[in-house]
Amino acid sequence: MMSMCYRARYFIITLLCSCSLLAAINASSADQAKGTVLITGANRGIGLALAEQFAERGYRVIGTARNTDKAEDLRALGASVEQLDVTDQDSVNQLAQRLKGQTIDILVNNAGIVGHTSKKLSDLDVNALAHVYDVNALGPLRVIQALLANVAESEQKLVINISSTMGSIERNTWGTTIGYRASKAALNMINKTMAVDFAKQGLTFVVLHPGYVKTDMNAGEGQYTAEQSAAGLTKVITGLSHENNGMFFDHLGMQLPW
Ligand SMILES: NC(=O)c1ccc[n+]([C@@H]2O[C@H](COP(=O)([O-])OP(=O)(O)OC[C@H]3O[C@@H](n4cnc5c(N)ncnc54)[C@H](OP(=O)(O)O)[C@@H]3O)[C@@H](O)[C@H]2O)c1
């Protein structure tokens, strides 16, 4: 009787161990199948909605936040939360150090600001626009420089820069918001230069416009919710190939003019 009981217990423990081992193997092969995505500025707005979309699709998500204490929604998605201020070279270097040896299939430079703007040219604080460039153009460049090795080692080798039609010279028919526009045009050029420079290594650099989205950036005004925008962006991103290197699309997959 004792020996029957012991054997039954041994059988159940072995079965449970096998099940959890199988679950672990399945989880890790799911990660391997879908890959890893790193999204900057993922604690709110479009970045958070993108993190949710990629997590739902089975990707391993690394989301960055300037203040990791304010990233509860991101953490609740099961994402790894990493501190990053894209204007702070030390913060960027420390992130790269922490992620050393980890592959990143899709790097999404999403963090951005509108920053200083003025309707009257005489009231424009030109020096304040340096900060807009620092966040929107130099920030993504710092992140690309620091994490390119992680992307180059991955399967998908994809870098996405979230820009705007506000950065399109051809689409600029109504002016305003000069610093934001110029910083996004600079980001577009950074993307194009990277696309040319790293094409031989099989890397793909794409600029995406998320639509006019109801986030804090627009004080809640917009045509799309962050979820709608992110659903479109994710569909576009997961459908990209190296043939799209250096191109500019919106969240509906329409190619945009520079
Ligand atoms: N909303 C639109 O209609 C629209 C249209 C075209 C393009 N975009 C672009 O889409 C991207 C996301 O915009 P959003 O509407 O989601 O804006 P948002 O709600 O204001 O979120 C901006 C995100 O960027 C982060 N961020 C700001 N400065 C940063 C820095 N120095 N380092 C790291 N992260 C920083 C913010 O972090 P904190 O929480 O710490 O501030 C936040 O997570 C931006 O690049 C924006 O230009 C938006």
2/238: higher pLDDT: 238
pLDDT at position 15 = 46
| Window from 15-24, 34-43, 115-124, 180-189 with minimum mean pLDDT | 15-24
pLDDT at position 7 = 54
50 ligand 1 Cβ < 6 A: no
Distance (Å, whole) CA 106 – CA 86: 17
pLDDT at position 193 = 98
Residue nearest to atom 32 of ligand 1 (CA): 85
| Digit-coded pLDDT (tens) for 69-83 | 999 999 999 999 999
Mutation choice for ligand 1 from 39, 40, 46, 90, CB with most ligand atoms inside 8 A: 46
- For the sheet containing 80-83, what is the strand order? 80-83, 60-65, 36-39, 106-109, 158-162, 204-209, 248-250
Task: Please give the CATH architecture assigned to the domain spanning 35-250.
Answer: 3-Layer(aba) Sandwich (3.40)
Write out the H or E segment, with its range, that includes residue 187. Answer: helix 178-197
**Closest by Cα among 173, 20, 86, 118 to 95:** 86
Contacts 24+ apart (CB under 8 A), 217-221: 217/45, 217/112, 217/113, 217/114
> What residue segments make up the domains of the chain, in order of their start?
1-34, 35-250
Q: How far is the CA of 15 from the centre of ligand 1 (A)?
A: 48
pLDDT at position 97 = 98
Distance (Å, whole) CA 204 – CA 247: 9
| Annotation says 59 is catalytic | no
Contact by Cβ (8 Å): 111, 41: yes
| Digit-coded pLDDT (tens) for 6-28 | 555 554 444 444 444 444 444 44
pTM (predicted TM-score): 0.90
